[in-house]
Amino acid sequence: MRPVAVITGSSRGLGAALMVSFAQAGYDVAGCYRTHPAGTDRVRLAVEDTGARYLGEVCDIGDVKDVKRFFATVIDTLGAPSVVIANAGITEDTPIALMSDDQWQRVIDTNLTGSFYVMREAAAVMRRQRQGAIIAMSSVAGMRGQVGQANYAAAKSGLIAVTKTLSLEVARQGIRVNSILPGYIASDMTQAMPEKTRDRAMSSIPLRRFGKPEEVAGMALYLASDAAAYVTGQSFVIDGGLTA
């Protein structure tokens, strides 16, 4: 029987790459998304081409009842997950002086509170089976800040703290909790950046390129594997040397 991986924000970009990479590695995969449902057919076909089972559900991770419903559906359909990746996130970039209360709250609600709901539910499920790996998708913005991203950086920094705290609380149940901090990764988001902004960002990266979603997925696969059985409470930066 194949192990099960749950990935939030699964309809595009990094989430889609995580879904396919875990399917290729032998997992059945369950994804949830709130926006961009058009990408789910492409993800489903790519997953099913590997022989894995696929489950895709609409879920607002900022709604705790929806998160609980999603996990119950996963367990009923595929079985209890051994890997959960809190990947879903949004941006609403604005300088602090101009940032509205709603812009601040929406990003915090999704990127921090929503990820907390997912990680808490994952821990509850994994405690019963006394094993599992939880991975939080943070960002280098959470360790260095970013102009116009006070809400995003605060949420991602908080996610690192949640990761470290949860890792201490569940270690004795055989559950490992780590975070990944990507830098600039090739995606719809980076493609939509103005050309001058994109060029400036690229020039600040020692490797002189944006990362590939599959490269971040490779780190997630390692953290989910037995090769990382002694790794917990850590944050792994994947940014081409940006924060070196």
Positions marked catalytic:
152
What dihedral angle (degrees, nearest 10) is formed by the CA atoms of 200, 146, 212, 71? -160
Q: Contact 18/182 with Cβ under 8 angstroms?
A: no
Q: What 3-state DSSP class applies to 58?
A: strand
The 8 Å CB, 24+ separation contacts for 103-107 are 103/151, 104/150, 104/151, 106/151, 107/151, 107/152, 107/155
Q: Which helix (H) or strand (E) holds 182?
A: strand 175-182
Torsion of CA 178, 182, 185, 191, to 10 degrees: 110
